[in-house]
Homo-oligomer: A and B are copies of this chain.
Amino acid sequence: MTIRTVVFGLGSMGYGIAKSLLNSELTVRGIDVNLDAENRFRADGGSTSERIDSISNASIVISVVLNAAQTEDVLFGESGVADTMKQGAVFISCATVAPDFARNMEARLEKLGVLFLDAPISGGSVKAASGQLTVMASGSATAFKVARPALDAMAERVFELGNSAGAGSAMKVVNQLLAGVHIAAAAEAMTFGISQGIDAAKTLEVISECAGTSWMFENRGAHIAKGDYTPHSAVDIFVKDLGIVSDVARGSKFSAPLTAAALQQFVAASGAGFGREDDAAVAKIYARNASLELPGDS
């Protein structure tokens, strides 16, 4: 039996997921507001036919859009798919959102007979393209079952975190707390090292071998040491994601001082004009505030 899937959002993550599904011989229709992305997907062997037709036939719709507002728009906006999806089909939501938002989407779709899988992703665009993402998922057993062919195609590892929406998003928010704090900490440490006369490349070399290291330190520290701020993931993503952490924490009366401090550094980086640069550009705020030169300056 042909499994028909639709992927909303052909950005760096969505495009990779759509390609991974194609490689697994699922039928994939890719939809994006950017027609260039759709044309590229068609050239790569995908389909981009008109929406209504593809949606009503699909058993799996995957949403890889930017945030909660876009997710809600895909489902319930002017040309939203919630009413068009067939009974028993599953909507896999990959954006980083607050757990309450995910629970709300699940409840609204349940009334329409449509399944919801709360399934944020981690791993970056390279792993998306190779079908090796990590998925932090929660939802009903039926939602997992219907979604399984797509999950198998896009992910190396699927964590099943609970039988209803919310737990997947909660875990993703925990991950973003750490990721954001660690990027800002990497920037703080490398620029502090510069203030003490230590070359950034030397800090990267030594600390990577010590207990102070982190996944983000090694990854984003390399960007700072090279002075390369080509956006793999932009500053504004962490303005958004640490904003979600901060909102969820405050809503739970949970005091999160490191999150707060890191968020302000990303807000400053965005305010200073670096919002679309790589998130490692948060180092530029530290450098400016201490009148330091970074690698690549001058």
Flag if B185 contacts A198 (CB, 8 Å). no
A30 smallest CB distance to B (angstroms)? 25
A164 smallest CB distance to B (angstroms)? 11
Question: Whose C-beta in chain B lies nearest to the C-beta of A174?
Answer: B193
Q: Identify which of B122, B245, B255, B291 contacts A290 (C-beta below 8 A).
A: B255
Q: What B residues does A211 contact at CB under 8 A?
A: 122-124, 175, 179, 215-216, 219
CA distance in complex: A188, B192 (Å) = 23
Residues of chain A touching chain B, judged by Cβ–Cβ distance below 8 Å, are 99, 122-124, 134, 136, 157, 159, 161, 166-167, 170-171, 173-179, 181-182, 184-186, 188-193, 195-198, 202-203, 205-207, 209-217, 219, 245, 248-249, 252-262, 264-265, 286, 289-291
Number of copies: 2
Question: Whose C-beta in chain B lies nearest to the C-beta of A253?
Answer: B290
Q: Could you list 17 A-B pairs, sorted by A, with CB under 8 Å?
A: A99-B196, A161-B198, A170-B197, A171-B207, A174-B189, A175-B210, A176-B212, A178-B212, A178-B217, A181-B258, A182-B185, A188-B259, A195-B252, A211-B215, A254-B290, A258-B261, A260-B261
Q: What B residues does A215 contact at CB under 8 A?
A: 210-214
CA distance in complex: A219, B196 (Å) = 28
CA distance in complex: A19, B256 (Å) = 43
Flag if B252 contacts A188 (CB, 8 Å). no
Once A179-B212, A214-B213 are accepted as A-B contacts, the answer to whether A192 and B289 lie under 8 Å apart by CB is: no
